[in-house]
Structure 1
Amino acid sequence: MKPFCFADGKFIPTESATIHPSDLGLIRGYGIFDFFRTANYQPLFLDHYLDRFITSAEKTYLPLDYSRAELKSIITGLIEKNDLREGGIRMVLSGGVSENHFSPAKGKLFIFAESLIFPSEEKYQQGVKLLTLEYVRAIADIKTTNYTLPVWHSVNWKRLGAEDVLYHWNGWVSESSRSNFFIVKDGVIHTPDQHILLGITRKHLLHLAGNAVIRPISLEEVWEAEEAFISSTTKILLPVTQLDDRKIGNGKVGKTTLEILEKFRKLELETVS
């Protein structure tokens, strides 16, 4: 975490940021957040992330007392104050202190600047392993702060040498705990359409792919896919070469995966140039 954050309507030392112990974000796990990266001091795809954050606030009935222009100004100031050339910005809106300790209330806005840790180059070259998990994330289209199950389950991932999980329910896959999921069949990218967060990286990858297909995907199809990968703000596009104890395709990072990753990296460079 970087030295300065935005809280209580001003820039303060990050270590001084506080939240009420009865805030729903703490006692009920109710709140929203969003996270994006900076490159060359510029926030990447900021309007897309603000769209999602503002919509999440509306859908969770949490008042957001800042306009889009004000949020942009705060973010720009925070990047400058922390000299954040390459890093991350995390926006959090808590559930607030509720009279009945349950209903959404007026929450507290925090905006933090963070250092980033990307996956190792080895993971991009060799791919990663996912574990199947029967689960559907609650209100998946909203980026809530409730990650109780994957945080608890992550101890098991590390023990089994996995990067993350792949959620599925009634035979249909949806997403990873912090990433969108894709498969490649006959050189065409396919991605699930239900019970997912509409990722910003996912959005740009679909645009770059051009002929990608958004549809229900069965777990059986994943086993038979030529390639697979996950996408997120911090992973960008991470190849998946193993699911549980079975290889995806030939167990190696595929051509289509590498091509779309290269296109996205070029897009990022164009965005900050």
Structure 2
Amino acid sequence: MKPFCFADGKIIATEAAALHPSDLGLIRGYGIFDFFRTVNYQPLFLEDYLDRFIRSAERTYIPLAYNREELRTIIHQLIQKNDLKEGGIRMVLSGGISENHFSPGEGKLFIFAESLSFPSEDKYQNGIKLLSLEYVRPVAEIKTTNYALAVWHSAGWKKQGAEDVLYYQGSYISESSRSNFFIVKNGQLITPDSNILLGITRKNVIELAGGAQIRPVTFQEIRDADEAFITSTTKVILPVTQIDDLKIGTGKPGPVTLGLLERFRAMVSQNTSVNS
């Protein structure tokens, strides 16, 4: 964490930020968050993230005491206060203190500035392995703070040489624990349409590629895929070359994935080349 955060209605020392022990964010794991990058002091895709954060607050019935303009102002102030040229901003809205310890109350807003690290370049060049896991995140379309299963399950990932998991239900796959999932077949991008978070990087990758088939995706299609990759704020476009014991395509990152990664990085560099 960087030295300063937003809490209790003002920018304070991060170490002074506190949550009431009866807050639903603690006792029920109920809250929302969002996370985005800063590049050259500019918050990347900020309006998209604000859209999702405000919508998530509404859909989880947690009061958010700040409007879009106020959130935008706080974020820019925090970036400057922390000299956050390249890093991450995490917005968290807790479930609040509830009279019955169950119903959402008035949420408490925290905004933190953080250092940011990406996967090693070796993973972009050679790809990663995912482990399949039958699971659907509760209210998957909302970025809640409930990552209990993934955190618990992650204790065994490294032993199996895996980076993350790939969730599925029945014959259909959905998403990774913190990323969206794509396959490539005959040059066409295909990505699941349900039981997923509508990722901001996902959205921009689809636009950059000129479209994608957004529909149910089966395990059989993964077996027949030419390429696969995941997308997220912290992973950008990360090639997937193996799921469980199944190698994807040639077992190496493919030209479509690597081409999109190069174009995405160029787009970010071009759009943030002038200081805000």
TM-score (ref. length: structure 2)? 0.98
The C-alpha deviation readout for 1:5-46, integer Å capped at 9, x for no partner, is: 000000111000000001000010000000000000000010
Within a 5 Å distance, the mapping from 1:4-153 to structure 2 comes to 4-153=4-153
Q: Does 1:263 align with 2:257?
A: no
Task: Give the Cα–Cα distance (whole angstroms) in 1 for the partners of residues 5 and 110 of structure 2.
Answer: 7
Within a 5 Å distance, the mapping from 1:81-230 to structure 2 comes to 81-230=81-230
Query: Is there any run of 5+ residues in structure 1 with no aligned partner, and where?
Result: none
Task: Give the Cα–Cα distance (whole angstroms) in 2 for the partners of residues 137 and 251 of structure 1.
Answer: 29
User: Hey, which bits of structure 1, 4+ residues long, moved more than 4 A?
Assistant: none
**Residue range with higher mean Cα deviation, 178-187 or 255-264:** 255-264
Deviation at residue 177 of structure 1 after TM alignment: 0.2
**Residue range with higher mean Cα deviation, 154-163 or 32-41:** 154-163
Deviation at residue 270 of structure 1 after TM alignment: 2.0
Task: Give the Cα–Cα distance (whole angstroms) in 1 for the partners of residues 6 and 211 of structure 2.
Answer: 41
In structure 1, what residue type is equivalent to 2:23?
A: D
SS in 2 for 1:174: strand
Task: Give the Cα–Cα distance (whole angstroms) in 2 for the partners of residues 95 and 59 of structure 1.
Answer: 12
Task: Give the Cα–Cα distance (whole angstroms) in 1 for the partners of residues 246 and 78 of structure 2.
Answer: 45
Task: Give the Cα–Cα distance (whole angstroms) in 1 for the partners of residues 183 and 228 of structure 2.
Answer: 4
Task: Give the Cα–Cα distance (whole angstroms) in 2 for the partners of residues 108 and 230 of structure 1.
Answer: 32
Fraction of identical pairs, as percent:
70
Deviation at residue 170 of structure 1 after TM alignment: 1.1
Task: Give the Cα–Cα distance (whole angstroms) in 2 for the partners of residues 101 and 158 of structure 1.
Answer: 37
In structure 2, what residue type is equivalent to 1:141?
A: E
TM-score (ref. length: structure 1)? 0.99
Number of aligned residue pairs = 273
Deviation at residue 156 of structure 1 after TM alignment: 1.3
Task: Give the Cα–Cα distance (whole angstroms) in 2 for the partners of residues 93 and 28 of structure 1.
Answer: 14
In structure 1, what residue type is equivalent to 2:54?
A: I
Deviation at residue 221 of structure 1 after TM alignment: 0.8
SS in 2 for 1:260: helix
In structure 1, what residue type is equivalent to 2:160?
A: L
Task: Give the Cα–Cα distance (whole angstroms) in 2 for the partners of residues 121 and 191 of structure 1.
Answer: 24
The C-alpha deviation readout for 1:108-138, integer Å capped at 9, x for no partner, is: 0000000001100000000000000000111
Task: Give the Cα–Cα distance (whole angstroms) in 1 for the partners of residues 159 and 100 of structure 2.
Answer: 41
Task: Give the Cα–Cα distance (whole angstroms) in 1 for the partners of residues 58 and 128 of structure 2.
Answer: 36
Deviation at residue 263 of structure 1 after TM alignment: 1.4
SS in 1 for 2:217: coil
Deviation at residue 269 of structure 1 after TM alignment: 1.3
Please give the root-mean-square deviation of Cα atoms over the aligned residues, in Å: 0.6
Task: Give the Cα–Cα distance (whole angstroms) in 1 for the partners of residues 227 and 72 of structure 2.
Answer: 38
SS in 2 for 1:266: helix
The C-alpha deviation readout for 1:171-211, integer Å capped at 9, x for no partner, is: 10000000000000011110000100000000000001113
SS in 1 for 2:175: coil
In structure 1, what residue type is equivalent to 2:41?
A: Y
SS in 1 for 2:165: strand
SS in 2 for 1:65: coil
Deviation at residue 168 of structure 1 after TM alignment: 0.5
SS in 2 for 1:175: strand
